[in-house]
Structure 1
Amino acid sequence: MEKEQYNWQQLVQYFNNPEDPALEKAIQEWRAASPDNEQLFGQVQLLWQFAPDLKVLDQLNVPAATVQLHAALPYNEQEEKIHTLPARRYKWFRVAAIGIPALLAAWWFYHVNTKISYKELRTLAGNIDSVTLTDGSRVYLDKNSTIRYPENMAKSRTLFMDQGTAFIEVAGNAVHPFILKLPQSSITVLGTAFNIQVKEKSIGITVKSGKIKFESAQNNEKTAVLIAGEGLEFSSATGQLQQFNAINSNEDAWLTHELVFVDAPLQEVCRKIETLYNVKIQLQGKVPVKKLNANFKHNKLEEILEILQAAYPISVQQQHNDIIITGR
């Protein structure tokens, strides 16, 4: 029983700090030791994903919480239920009864003694807003976006985002990682700045500094570690994950009003201009193959178009939000 309890405590530590290589190795060895261990791991992981408040369970007195919960339950009734379970379910119950009650007891003990209050930041069309969290992290929200965050980050550093676009600067904390819960996935960071866009069926991420770990709740094998200058696209519909070089992505231009191009083709430059300035650009004629290296910050659209005409053999015609660029 002590050995099982020790494994449970390892699980709590692992889910709180999945990037610890030594702990990850110990958990993998334990999972591989028997099918029962693997099944128990899956059950605890499922509960963990659906109960974000459990991220602070490593701070609880788990044995004491277990005693309190078991004392409140009729022992004989529990015993009777165990013996009347069908044979095909008994094996799972015997394994899960060791770890799941401890998890539920800790969850019950936690909610009896403390409660995490969440606030919501929501933006409407045409609005950009920001909030500084109590741990020093800062969240910037683009239009039509929503995020929920703990009122007190000392209890939990887990946020929830269901839709929209955000740029997040995370304050470093080696003890408590910053976790962003997304539809069917999550991001774990220690200290970084990244841009995220949550759509109905996809998630886009680009990292500006530091490092993040992306995990899919659908498939444990769908994980990725991204560093500055890298990005990924994740399809929540198909579960497919694709990483890419984000040097020219400029996904945070909605916030910084800055476009940075490094050896970028003209087609890519035009796509980013379209997004930032809300215009439609049509390329005609012979498209120049020359790559662009430039940095535009707080420039007017007309200024950027003039620079492009100076850099390329092209002509530009603009009528309201429609722009035609013709190669000569």
Structure 2
Amino acid sequence: MEKETINWLQLVKYLNNPQDTALEQQVRQWAAASPENEATLLQVQQLWQLSPDLKILDQLDTKNAIARLQEALPEDETVHHLPARRYHWFRVAAVIIPIVAAASWFFYHSGTVTYKEKATLAAIDSLLLPDQSRVYLDKNSRVRYPERMQKNRTVIMEQGTAYFDVATQTATPFVVKIGQSSITVLGTTFNIHLENYRIGVTVKTGKIRFASGHTNAPETILSAGEGLHFDPATGSLEQYNAINSNADAWITHELVFVDAPLSEVCKKVEALYQVKINLRGKIPVKKLNATFKNNKLEEVLEVLQATYPITVVHRNREITITGR
């Protein structure tokens, strides 16, 4: 991408249509070509995040704005003679006005999609999407979604963990994008965990199609009770039986175990109840088959003690389980 006026429109299209992987790759390659390009892309992204609140766009005469900028720019392209403050103003104006002009043209002539953002900090929250799908966000999670979803049902997963309960709508598939990867569904419930760019997906009901975004990599179909781990850095993908993963327990408050070893049970109990469990002595080999739904921690420990030859000591947030 060379620095031409049309490329501001390409950047606007990229920000407004993140599911266009070909355009995304083109922009990323251009940004990686030089530190200047990377800095420009960052400026555009920051301005774009503020753009929904800029009511001035409704009255902006973009043609005259660009004309005034061209008149203000010096004929001599040498910049070291300009005062620092004036040069800084030119740089800011040169970035902002083409973006505003492109955004104004793009919004009013292309009928493009406007994305909104939902983020959580220290508490779990939920979001009802315009298509009546519901997204549950764990702590420190963030997604972007279309303001209207009649023709576009693409949600951008940017951070954290989210549980999706997708409304069935056969006409338009529901898509979740995570970086270069994507998940396509028609109606299902599934969980996504994003950590250090690594993606974890488990399906509770229905079926999804996972596309890693890597060249020549086949798509993966996951049904209920299946999961996968994908590392974009290496391209490695691991598919597994997710019946005992309980990845969505943070929102469902349900633990399901099918022939699960005690060590695995303890890890899931630790994660859900935010405690530390120490296993000592002879660990029983017997597998657990049980379902806990909205149970108190003490109730879960009582079931474990009745099932296995163990003693359980519970002090504050630490539990010691000793095999007999």
* Shorter-chain TM-score tier: 0.5 to 0.7
SS for the counterpart of 1:187 is: strand
Contact 1:116 1:155 in 2 (8 A): no
Alignment RMSD (CA, Å): 2.0
Contact 1:179 1:188 in 2 (8 A): yes
- Give, as a single letter, the amino acid of the residue that structure 2 aligns with 1:309: Q
* Cα distance in structure 1, aligned partners of 2:184 and 2:282: 45
Matches within 5 A, 1:212-251: 212-251=208-247
Structure 2 residue aligned with 1:162: 158
* Cα distance in structure 1, aligned partners of 2:108 and 2:232: 31
Say whether 1:143 aligns with 2:139: yes
SS for the counterpart of 1:281 is: strand
Say whether 1:178 aligns with 2:178: no
- Give, as a single letter, the amino acid of the residue that structure 1 aligns with 2:23: L
* Cα distance in structure 1, aligned partners of 2:108 and 2:306: 64
Contact 2:151 2:172 in 1 (8 A): no
Say whether 1:314 aligns with 2:310: yes
- 1:222 deviates by 4.6
- 1:237 deviates by 2.2
Say whether 1:120 aligns with 2:96: no
Instruction: Kindly provide the CA deviation profile for residues 242-274 of structure 1, in whole angstroms up to 9, marking residues without a partner as x.
Output: 000011111111001111111111111001001
Structure 1, gaps ≥5 residues long: 1-43, 52-107
Instruction: Kindly provide the CA deviation profile for residues 82-125 of structure 1, in whole angstroms up to 9, marking residues without a partner as x.
Output: xxxxxxxxxxxxxxxxxxxxxxxxxx988723131211111112
Which of 295, 298, 323 is the matching residue for 2:294?
298
Structure 2 residue aligned with 1:46: 22
Structure 1 residue aligned with 2:197: 201
- 1:294 deviates by 1.0
* Cα distance in structure 1, aligned partners of 2:314 and 2:203: 34
Structure 1 residue aligned with 2:273: 277
Say whether 1:254 aligns with 2:250: yes
- Give, as a single letter, the amino acid of the residue that structure 2 aligns with 1:121: K
* Cα distance in structure 2, aligned partners of 1:266 and 1:50: 49
Structure 2 residue aligned with 1:8: none
Structure 1 residue aligned with 2:187: 191
- Residue 295 to residue 50, structure 1, CA distance change in 2 (3 Å): farther
Q: Name the TM-score, length of structure 1 as normaliser.
A: 0.66
Structure 1 residue aligned with 2:92: none
* Cα distance in structure 1, aligned partners of 2:218 and 2:272: 31
Q: Name the TM-score, length of structure 2 as normaliser.
A: 0.67
SS for the counterpart of 2:244 is: coil
- Give, as a single letter, the amino acid of the residue that structure 2 aligns with 1:200: N
- 1:299 deviates by 1.2
Q: Which runs of 4+ in 1 moved over 3 A?
A: 48-51, 108-111
Contact 2:203 2:222 in 1 (8 A): yes
* Cα distance in structure 2, aligned partners of 1:257 and 1:193: 15
SS for the counterpart of 2:130 is: coil
Contact 2:160 2:193 in 1 (8 A): yes
* Cα distance in structure 2, aligned partners of 1:113 and 1:182: 25
Structure 2, gaps ≥5 residues long: 1-19, 28-104
- 1:46 deviates by 1.7
Matches within 5 A, 1:68-79: none
- Give, as a single letter, the amino acid of the residue that structure 1 aligns with 2:139: K
Contact 1:160 1:180 in 2 (8 A): yes
Structure 1 residue aligned with 2:59: none
* Cα distance in structure 2, aligned partners of 1:301 and 1:195: 23
* Cα distance in structure 2, aligned partners of 1:113 and 1:214: 29
- Residue 304 to residue 115, structure 1, CA distance change in 2 (3 Å): same
* Cα distance in structure 2, aligned partners of 1:207 and 1:259: 15
* Cα distance in structure 1, aligned partners of 2:301 and 2:166: 35
- Give, as a single letter, the amino acid of the residue that structure 1 aligns with 2:192: I
Contact 2:184 2:209 in 1 (8 A): yes
